[in-house]
Amino acid sequence: MRVSFSPAPVEPPTNKKEIWAWYSYAFASEAYVVVALTSFIPITLEALASQEGHLYGTNEPCVAKPSNSTITGAPQEGERPRCMISFGHIEVDTASFVMYLTSLAVLLQALTVVSISSMADHGSYRKKQLVVFSALGSVATMLIGAMPYVWMAGALSVIANVSFGAGIVCFNAYLPLLVRNIEQLRLKREQLTRIEGEIEGDTEQQQTDRRNDDDTAGLALAERIGVTEVAAAFEEEEGNRRSDEPLVTGQQVTGQSLEQKKRLCSEISEQLNEEKGHLMGQISARGFASGYFGGILLLLVCLYISYLDKSSMWSLKFGIFLSGLWWCLFAGLAGVWLKERPGRELILSDQDRKRGSLWVASRYVVYSWNRVGGTIVQARKLPNAFAFLISWFFLSDGYTSIANVAVLFAKTSLRLSQTLLILLSLVVPICALIGTLAFPRLQKALGYDQKQMVMLLLILLVMVPVYGTLGLILPFWPKLSSAGELFALASYYGLLIGAVQSFCRSMFADLVPKGRESEFFGLYAITDKGSSWLGPLAIAAITDATQEIRNAFIFLLVLLSLPIPIIYFGVDMHQGRLDAEKASQELLQSQEAQTDRGIADEDERERLLSAV
């Protein structure tokens, strides 16, 4: 697909209102994640599946009297029988069914993200996609509670999950754009550009002066010894001049001035990268903090409703509805206040545009798939960014699997009440909010850069599956068999997870080439969602095979251990920034060349038509 591009638009400066709009979307969407995606939807789907299921090896229903008054009619004493749900001749555990459904959702999410990621970098599609997917996901979420059958609620949960993932790609792509256009960074970048221009001018002037001196010396020699001997004599004179530096004091002074400018340029560049990294981490952390704050507020409301309604199924469904409504309202504020910040548009023919907006969108989708393939091919040019993505593949799968499994483990293995399940869901975001705000202060106190903070957080995070694995192999180690033990582990996990997500996002944003933000954050989401279906799928298989969900700790230990050596040995932040800058320059040159070819082709077509 041959394409050409419009000129690059001027990027407007970032103001506080737009940053608060970005926080507003985090406040909206994270409430859906905290309340619905990781808590209420899994519990509701498992309960609906139990109402339609039967006890393992029998035809006896799991729930004796399905009603809207209780979550489950499963026995509260003794060993809990496995509840199975049938799909044709296939039977799966109701807890595994939820994880299989999650795997399907994130797989479809990955395909959707591929289709829209590059598209969001061109024209004004980034903001449009953010608004459309937010509306679609929030409406689907609000309708889940009204569905009487598990397959209906499951289908809507998949739509909501896919929409959330597609919207979050556009949301994350705003981060480097907003940071790059903060006034203090724009001024420093202009100063750096001006000094680089002076250095280039001084270098060209030196070369011109040297050529003039060479020409003058050649003419003088020609007058003295004749033209036929000029070449040899000039070559000898040039060698003497280069080997005898004290004879060219004027050049020496100019060289010192040039070196001073180069040193100043290097200092400003380092300050710019340091300030950008600090602001990126600060804004990213505040975004996660605002999201967790929104989730906590909504969870408190849902906890109060659950208490008044005596932990009924209705309170769960109503909580899911509220999370969709919350997402819709506050995402609307972001849609109003965020600037479009368009990229270079694809120049399409009049024939393409006459076919309508759907056809134009399809051309962008084709381009998105082509660009993703090209991005993967360019991995050799951005080895640090792609090493990070490989580590993110395992890391995101690990911590997402912990979150997906925790509530189901608490409900099916520990048989916690609905009130305790909601409290467990509340503990994680509260601790995550604290950790998200505390770890940037710790970073400042320790003087760590982004990579060092990510390494520290990963080592701390891997202790979660280490704790669970030790319980499987050491007879004296706690077996994670009580509510208090689970709440303590959830608090520790929560303190780390918000900071891990924040520092990883800001670290990757520093490695993204300018003009390809949505494309690369699409890959960021693909590696996230492309792996997140593997974790639940593997854990579901382990649970079905061993009839014990605790055995999944060994799998989680492997997943969370792999990113540590990959980031430590494979990611060089300084070189990664240089690679990103080079890639953005190559992208600009490529787009200009494609535009020139497109204009030339159009002129040739017009000439042939005129001739005919």
Q: Which strand (E) or helix (H) includes residue 402?
A: helix 383-412
pLDDT in tens, 414-451: 888 777 887 887 898 899 999 999 998 898 899 888 89
Mean pLDDT of the chain: 78
Query: For residues 332 and 330, what is the distance between their CA atoms, to the nearest angstrom?
Result: 5
Q: And the tokens for 252?
A: 């020496």
What pLDDT shows up at residue 205?
Answer: 62
The mean pLDDT value for 202-220 works out to 61
Q: And the tokens for 44?
A: 């509701």
Nearest CA to 33 out of 429, 317, 328 is that of: 429
Name every residue whose Cβ is closer than 8 Å to that of residue 606 and which is 6 or more positions away in sequence: none
Query: For residues 43 and 270, what is the distance between their CA atoms, to the nearest angstrom?
Result: 50
Q: What percent of the chain has pLDDT over 70?
A: 78
Q: What is the 3-state secondary structure (H, E, C) of 165-186?
A: HHHHHHHHHHHHHHHHCCHHHH
- In contact, 316 and 460? CB cutoff 8 Å: no
pLDDT category of residue 72 using cuts at 50, 70 and 90: very low
Q: How far apart are the first and last CA of the chain?
A: 27
Backbone phi, psi, residue 91, to 5°: -120, 135
Q: Distances in Å between the alpha carbon of 538 and those of 547, 553, 556, 560? A: 13, 11, 10, 15
DSSP helix/strand/coil, 346? strand
Nearest CA to 443 out of 274, 268, 210, 260 is that of: 274
What pLDDT shows up at residue 249?
Answer: 36
Most confident of 20-24, 82-86, 151-155, 183-187: 20-24
Q: Which strand (E) or helix (H) includes residue 83?
A: strand 83-87
Query: For residues 462 and 477, what is the distance between their CA atoms, to the nearest angstrom?
Result: 17
Q: And the tokens for 83?
A: 């509840």
Amino acid at 189: R
pLDDT category of residue 594 using cuts at 50, 70 and 90: low
The mean pLDDT value for 317-345 works out to 89
What pLDDT shows up at residue 499?
Answer: 93
Query: For residues 141 and 333, what is the distance between their CA atoms, to the nearest angstrom?
Result: 19
Nearest CA to 141 out of 160, 155, 166 is that of: 160
User: Which residues sit opposite 85 in a β-bridge?
Assistant: 92
DSSP helix/strand/coil, 14? coil
pLDDT in tens, 227-256: 445 445 445 544 454 444 443 333 333 444
For residue 611, pLDDT over 70 is answered with no
- Running DSSP on this structure, what letter comes out for residue 355? T
- Running DSSP on this structure, what letter comes out for residue 7? P
Dmax (CA) for the chain in angstroms is: 116
- Report all structural domains of the chain as residue ranges with CATH numbers, in order of start: 16-72+82-185+264-597 (1.20.1250.20)
For residue 569, pLDDT over 60 is answered with yes
Distance of CA 391 to the CA centre of its chain: 13
Residue predicted with more confidence, 455 or 86: 455
- In contact, 113 and 522? CB cutoff 8 Å: yes
